[in-house]
Amino acid sequence: MDPLIQANGQPHYGIFPTAPSVINYRDFDFRSPMGRRLGPLAKWRRFHQFQYFGLISDQLIGGCALANLSLAGIGFVYLFHPASGRMIERQFKLPLGFGTRFSQQPNDGVCELRSGRNLLRLENHAASQEKRLLVELDDGTRIDACFTEATPAFQSMCINTPTAVNGWVYAQKVAGVRCTGQVKSALGDFDLAAIEAFAHHDWSAGYMRPETCWNWACLSGQAGAQRVGLNLSCGVNETSFTENCFWLDGELIKVDTVRFSYDREQPLQPWRIDSYDGQVALQFEARGLHQERMNLGVLASNFKQIFGQFRGVLRPHGRAAISIDNLWGFVEEQYVKW
């Protein structure tokens, strides 16, 4: 596909069969809400980008994220061992993003954060359609995980939506793919292929609402003979189009809007997630939590990513229902001011 921003300074909108070649945000005709043309400084300040790589299996759960918030570069990584309930987690915040770099090509290039002897690195390779996570921490923790969208063929969710009065958000989502690689940590050493791990991936960027919040849910696993992945959200990426979908053996099944029902004061209590079109009816039971709070005045975040197990049913139109029986995955609640 062509670059996201067209020659007239306006983005392509919609759900795309393939990813844009580049998120060329500097070419965007960025205006104030009253129509005044904004310059390079405003484009830099308001553009935000993040990437996430998740690992899912019965024996090990993991997540790593990098975010470029213009005024700060942020990263986190965690590993959770379901059998013991033990967890490793680290967080990094770097002023003005010093020590980070971010490619604006969704399917190619490197995003990484370096802090002392710690490295968080996400690589996307266009030729092989591979995505790789490399984490090296000063306590000896090492994650080297990889998946491919080439074999068997996988349909990514690639979407760009208008946001607020003058913005847009591009998002690219993957879930329900087999993962290979190695994890070495205080929780033990794991061969990801041997423990039948799955992966999911999120690449997002754009001019998001200056103050926003959202819910998100994702699962990956084996349901009978089928590989299943799920990506649902509420509160972002849903103006004109939504990113809601699930995958059966790599085939993307579009889903309508969804409702997240849960107790915000007790997020570890059960969640209920249902789609308006009836294709999704799930309950989520929490098993653990990664959370962060940050309040720097101009930047603020209250973030909860909860990992646990889903039960329920997926009902693709015109097909047999898919029973979801204790598949591992994530739900999320996030508030952001940026």
Q: What are the mean pLDDT values of the chain's consecutive 10-residue runs (338 residues total)? A: 96 97 98 96 97 97 96 96 96 95 96 98 96 98 96 93 96 97 98 98 96 96 96 91 97 97 96 98 96 89 95 97 97 94
CA angle (214, 216, 179) in 5-degree steps: 145
Residue 2, domain member (yes or no): no
Domain that holds residue 217: 14-337
Report the SS3 class of residue 170.
Answer: strand
Question: Given strand 86-95, what is the order of strands in its sheet?
Answer: 14-16, 157-163, 167-178, 198-206, 48-56, 61-68, 72-81, 86-95
Report the SS3 class of residue 178.
Answer: strand
**Residue type (1 letter), 44:** W
What confidence score (pLDDT) does residue 298 get?
A: 87
Residue 78, domain member (yes or no): yes
Residue 7, domain member (yes or no): no
Contacts of 119 (CB under 8 A, 6+ apart): 112, 113, 134, 135, 136, 137
What confidence score (pLDDT) does residue 236 get?
A: 85
Residue 177, domain member (yes or no): yes
Predicted TM-score (pTM) of the model is 0.95
Residue 3, domain member (yes or no): no
Residue 153's Cβ-side half-sphere holds a number of Cα atoms within 13 Å equal to 5
What confidence score (pLDDT) does residue 216 get?
A: 97
Question: Given strand 142-148, what is the order of strands in its sheet?
Answer: 100-102, 109-115, 118-125, 130-136, 142-148, 180-185, 188-191
Beta-carbon neighbour count of residue 255 at 10 Å? 22
Distances (CA, A) of 161 to 9, 166, 169, 170, 205: 15, 11, 6, 7, 11
Residue 89, domain member (yes or no): yes
| Dist CA 223 CA 63 (whole Å) | 22
Residue for token pair 């940050």: 294
What confidence score (pLDDT) does residue 159 get?
A: 97
Contacts of 31 (CB under 8 A, 6+ apart): 37, 38, 166
| Dist CA 262 CA 92 (whole Å) | 29
| Dist CA 243 CA 6 (whole Å) | 22
Residue 150, domain member (yes or no): yes
| Dist CA 95 CA 90 (whole Å) | 17
CATH number at residue 310: 2.40.370.10
Q: How many domains does the chain contain in total?
A: 1
**In the numeric block, which tokens belong to residue 143?**
């994650």
User: E strand or H helix at 44, and its extent?
Assistant: helix 40-46
Residue 9, domain member (yes or no): no
In order, the DSSP letters of 23-92 are: --GGGS--B-TTS-B--HHHHHHH-EEEEEEEEE-SS-EEEEEEEE-SSEEEEEEEEEETTTTEEEEEEE
